[in-house]
Homo-oligomer: A and B are copies of this chain.
């Protein structure tokens, strides 16, 4: 006997499946499902499993075997939809980026007041990150595994996303409901705050739920820059330098 394959126990479970997504046993289908929409469904199915597993173990510790199991299919089938593991990673990141670009504009559209629109945008941003939790981090965490070309493309779309937030900030500024000295930085801080959620939120004492987390953060990040009724806003700390 050569192998020693081991062959994995069904799953490692972990209790906190969190979203309950993934692992759907997948009707053990066989034969005819090539309907053009079925193929799209398969992709989604695999993608969901990949998001789940990548998110849970990280790109490197995730095995294709685990992903296929989570998707309820065989390993080989994954390779009919994705060139290789790296391609799958790229697809996962793309999927998340697509969510941003889909959800944020939709959320903004539900509001008319500039400040409301900004709030809606950030909340939508946050919701996507929260839904994909750890997976949303993959992009940065494992960025080095992607070839430069793909990285560049991803960063471009990431900037596009950021641009949506920036737009809302700018909208507020123009409307005079926000007195920002450095709009770009404010956008940046909002983005960073959102992304910090899965990574750093444990540091906050009254362990916040996502809802509370985002509201609390926005309140503090945006409040001071709102035209304080009477008092002049930022006094400018200026000089300060080493």
Residues of A within 8 A of B (CB): 1-2, 7, 56-61, 65, 119, 123, 137, 140-142, 144-145, 155, 158-159, 162, 181-182, 184-186, 188-189, 191-193, 195-196, 199-200, 202-205, 211-212, 215-217, 219-226, 228-229, 231-242
Contact = CB atoms under 8 A, between A and B. Distances in A.
Contact of A233 (B158, B205, B240): B240
Contact of A235 (B191, B232, B242): B232
Contact of A220 (B59, B144, B186): B186
Given A155-B202, A223-B236, A228-B233, 7 more contacts: A58-B144, A141-B141, A186-B220, A223-B240, A224-B234, A233-B236, A236-B238
Contacts of A188: 200, 203-204
Contacts of A162: 203
B234 A231 contact: no
A215 to B, nearest CB: 7
